[in-house]
């Protein structure tokens, strides 16, 4: 049931009519109904021209969408004289502020992907397609594209008329400006995308002089065309018919999921409000069938028909209906974020008391902790020790036993380093191969061979622990150290 205390419910029915009448300014209703004439099932046959209304959710939507500014501005953030975040694919290293991540650290990427996948699933289970409605690039870019359309061609009614109007010089001019702007935004999108990988400054330098490689031009062209086509032409058709995520989200909703919903019990029976005509008490619900909720819907659906696949949870219909409710002096929230349970009057558990929510939070926290651990333990050098297997050991002339090891030293810092290798063991050993420091180039693995000999009388068993360490001094004076334990194998005594 409605959670908003309704003044109308408390007052005698006679007052309702008075309230309704009093709330209407002359002409308002006619305007609303005039707009409502245009509606059809959205099968892609006709372009949806959604009406833009200011409101609470509209503001939230802008706020959420502005997160995408990071995408455009991010490549210009500098850190330590370098682009702060740079996915340097040719050199297979990823700079995230001070840290450099090499392919070896990619388990963190898995955790990051897990985090976002779970986050998406959690968000869907808790509040439906909120990602679609507020963050998705398809939604956001389409929103910007249609905003441009509105500036140039006017409101939805004018736009439809303009589309039908015969070709004229004026029409060609307006349309070409629109498409040019769309293409420009598409270009900026492709450009910014590539900048994350190529480096923003080199891109400015190389792109227009024709010095960037063909992959750069191909990607920018692809993104420009893609953005123009998807956000300019396909728009909500992507959310309806193309997006794979939209397909799977349907099964992730349940009775407790909050989605924009039309309060059937309060709204029905809907009926048009006519000036001077009495509303018969108890025969009409709060919905005055003004179709405002449909007019503003960017996917062109009628939320009053219930939750459906086309709804991207953008809540714009909430703004629209709330404004109508204000006008007719009824409480807001005829369309509101509500769960099926709530609408059907079932007991609704607060979110924080639901086991599922805590399970989700648990997984999210764990993966964040994992990533945090990964970053805090990022070391500059890494050491791996491979023990030779054939032969496992070699007997030498004097009866001592020799083992062969291949050390692989990985330099994850940004500078070439000199690594000092040291070996220790509980028994006396003779080491060959570590006399000189090992030059390790940054971002590379450098192998080296080490031979260890143990005199016959010092062999304490078939396997003796051996400890390897690699030390290097970074240019800023800090010491990096990597340690590995391996074993020395000997024949049965």
- Cβ(303)–Cβ(292) under 8 Å? no
Query: What strands lie across the sheet with 417-424, from one edge to the other?
Result: 438-440, 417-424, 463-473, 479-489
Alpha helices in 308-416 (DSSP H): 316-327, 340-343, 355-376
Closest contact distance (angstroms) between CB of 128 and ligand SF4 is 9
Q: At what angle do helices 355-376 and 107-127 cross, to 10 degrees?
A: 160
Compare residues 320 and 452 and give the one whose CB is closer to ligand SF4. 320
- Round to whole Å and give the CA distance between 307 and 293: 14
Identify what 237 binds: another protein, ligand SF4, none; CB under 5 to 8 Å per kind. Answer: another protein
Token code pair at residue 336: 């509101």
Identify what 439 binds: ligand SF4, another protein, none; CB under 5 to 8 Å per kind. Answer: another protein
Sites for ligand SF4 among residues 284-343 (CB under 6 A): 287-293, 296-297, 299, 301, 303-304, 311-317, 320-321, 324, 334-335
Closest contact distance (angstroms) between CB of 101 and ligand SF4 is 38
Number of other CB atoms surrounding residue 241 within 10 Å: 14
Compare residues 199 and 260 and give the one whose CB is closer to ligand SF4. 260
Cα separations in angstroms, 403 against 6, 15, 201, 446 = 86, 98, 51, 20
Paired with 472 in beta bridges are: 419, 480
Site map 24..63 versus ligand SF4, x via CB under 6 A? ----------------------------------------
Closest contact distance (angstroms) between CB of 328 and ligand SF4 is 8
Compare residues 297 and 343 and give the one whose CB is closer to ligand SF4. 297
- Cβ(413)–Cβ(480) under 8 Å? yes
Identify what 299 binds: ligand SF4, another protein, none; CB under 5 to 8 Å per kind. Answer: ligand SF4
Number of other CB atoms surrounding residue 95 within 10 Å: 19
- Cβ(440)–Cβ(419) under 8 Å? yes
Compare residues 100 and 299 and give the one whose CB is closer to ligand SF4. 299
Compare residues 103 and 269 and give the one whose CB is closer to ligand SF4. 269
Site map 455..484 versus ligand SF4, x via CB under 6 A? ------------------------------
Closest contact distance (angstroms) between CB of 413 and another protein is 20
Compare residues 51 and 387 and give the one whose CB is closer to ligand SF4. 51
Compare residues 44 and 98 and give the one whose CB is closer to another protein. 44
Binding site for another protein (CB under 8 A): 43-45, 233-234, 237, 241, 388-391, 394-399, 402, 404, 438-439, 447-449, 451
Closest contact distance (angstroms) between CB of 434 and another protein is 12
Identify what 305 binds: ligand SF4, another protein, none; CB under 5 to 8 Å per kind. Answer: none
Task: For residue 305, count CB atoms less than 10 angstroms from its CB and return exposed for 0-12, middle for 13-18, buried for 19 or more.
Answer: exposed
Number of other CB atoms surrounding residue 63 within 10 Å: 10
Identify what 45 binds: another protein, ligand SF4, none; CB under 5 to 8 Å per kind. Answer: another protein
What is the 8-class DSSP label of residue 241?
I
Closest contact distance (angstroms) between CB of 45 and another protein is 6
- Round to whole Å and give the CA distance between 85 and 200: 10
- Cβ(478)–Cβ(382) under 8 Å? no
Closest contact distance (angstroms) between CB of 485 and another protein is 22
- Cβ(79)–Cβ(272) under 8 Å? no
Identify what 323 binds: another protein, ligand SF4, none; CB under 5 to 8 Å per kind. Answer: none
Count of residues binding ligand SF4 (CB under 6 A)?
29
Identify what 398 binds: ligand SF4, another protein, none; CB under 5 to 8 Å per kind. Answer: another protein
Sites for ligand SF4 among residues 246-265 (CB under 6 A): 260, 262
Token code pair at residue 447: 């192998």
- Cβ(220)–Cβ(195) under 8 Å? no
Q: What angle do CA 131, 304, 145 make, to 5 degrees?
A: 45
Compare residues 267 and 374 and give the one whose CB is closer to ligand SF4. 267
- Cβ(252)–Cβ(217) under 8 Å? no
Compare residues 295 and 440 and give the one whose CB is closer to ligand SF4. 295
Identify what 288 binds: ligand SF4, another protein, none; CB under 5 to 8 Å per kind. Answer: ligand SF4
Token code pair at residue 398: 């004097």
Q: At what angle do helices 137-153 and 56-65 cross, to 10 degrees?
A: 120
Identify what 284 binds: another protein, ligand SF4, none; CB under 5 to 8 Å per kind. Answer: none
What is the 8-class DSSP label of residue 291?
-
Closest contact distance (angstroms) between CB of 57 and another protein is 29
- Round to whole Å and give the CA distance between 439 and 369: 35
- Round to whole Å and give the CA distance between 332 and 324: 9
Binding site for ligand SF4 (CB under 6 A): 260, 262, 267, 270, 287-293, 296-297, 299, 301, 303-304, 311-317, 320-321, 324, 334-335
């Amino acid at each position: 049931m409605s959670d908003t205390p309704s003044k109308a419910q408390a007052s005698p029915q006679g007052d309702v009519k008075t309230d309704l009448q009093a709330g209407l300014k002359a002409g308002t209703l006619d305007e609303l109904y005039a707009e409502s004439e245009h509606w059809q099932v959205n099968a892609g046959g006709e372009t949806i021209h959604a009406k833009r209304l200011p409101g609470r959710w509209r503001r939230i939507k802008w706020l959420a969408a502005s997160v995408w500014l990071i995408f455009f501005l991010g490549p210009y953030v500098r850190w330590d004289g370098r682009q702060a975040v740079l996915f340097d694919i040719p050199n297979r290293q990823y700079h995230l502020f001070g840290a450099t991540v090499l392919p070896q650290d990619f388990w963190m990427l898995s955790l990051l992907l897990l985090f976002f996948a779970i986050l998406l699933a959690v968000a869907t289970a808790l509040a439906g397609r909120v990602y679609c409605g507020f963050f998705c690039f398809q939604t956001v870019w389409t929103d910007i594209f249609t905003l441009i359309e509105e500036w140039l061609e006017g409101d939805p009614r004018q736009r439809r008329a303009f589309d039908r109007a015969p070709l004229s010089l004026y029409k060609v001019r307006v349309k070409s400006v629109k498409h040019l702007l769309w293409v420009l935004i598409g270009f900026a999108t492709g450009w910014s995308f590539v900048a994350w990988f190529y480096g923003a400054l080199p891109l400015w330098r190389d792109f227009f002089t024709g010095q960037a490689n063909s992959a750069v031009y191909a990607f920018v062209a692809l993104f420009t065309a893609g953005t123009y086509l998807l956000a300019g032409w396909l728009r909500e058709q992507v959310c309806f018919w193309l997006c794979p995520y939209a397909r799977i989200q349907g099964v992730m909703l349940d009775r407790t999921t909050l989605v924009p919903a039309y309060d059937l019990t309060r709204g029905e029976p809907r009926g048009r409000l006519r000036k001077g005509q009495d509303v018969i008490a108890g025969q009409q619900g709060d919905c005055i069938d003004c179709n405002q909720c449909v007019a503003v819907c960017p996917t062109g659906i009628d939320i009053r028909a219930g939750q459906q696949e086309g709804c991207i949870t953008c809540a714009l219909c909430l703004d629209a209906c709330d404004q109508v409710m204000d006008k007719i002096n009824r409480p807001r929230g005829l369309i509101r974020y509500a769960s099926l349970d709530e609408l059907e009057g079932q007991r609704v558990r607060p979110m924080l008391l639901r086991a599922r929510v805590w399970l989700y939070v648990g997984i999210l926290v764990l993966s964040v902790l994992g990533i945090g651990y990964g970053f805090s333990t990022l070391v500059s050098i890494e050491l791996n020790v491979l023990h030779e297997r054939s032969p496992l050991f070699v007997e030498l002339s004097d009866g001592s036993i020799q083992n062969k090891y291949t050390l692989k030293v990985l330099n994850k810092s940004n500078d070439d380093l000199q690594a000092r290798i040291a070996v220790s063991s509980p028994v006396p050993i003779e080491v060959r191969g570590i006399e000189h420091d090992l030059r390790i180039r940054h971002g590379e693995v450098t192998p080296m061979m080490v031979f260890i000999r143990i005199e016959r009388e010092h062999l304490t068993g078939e396997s003796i622990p051996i400890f390897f360490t690699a030390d290097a001094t970074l240019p800023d004076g800090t010491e990096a150290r990597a340690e590995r334990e391996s074993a020395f194998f000997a024949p049965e005594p």
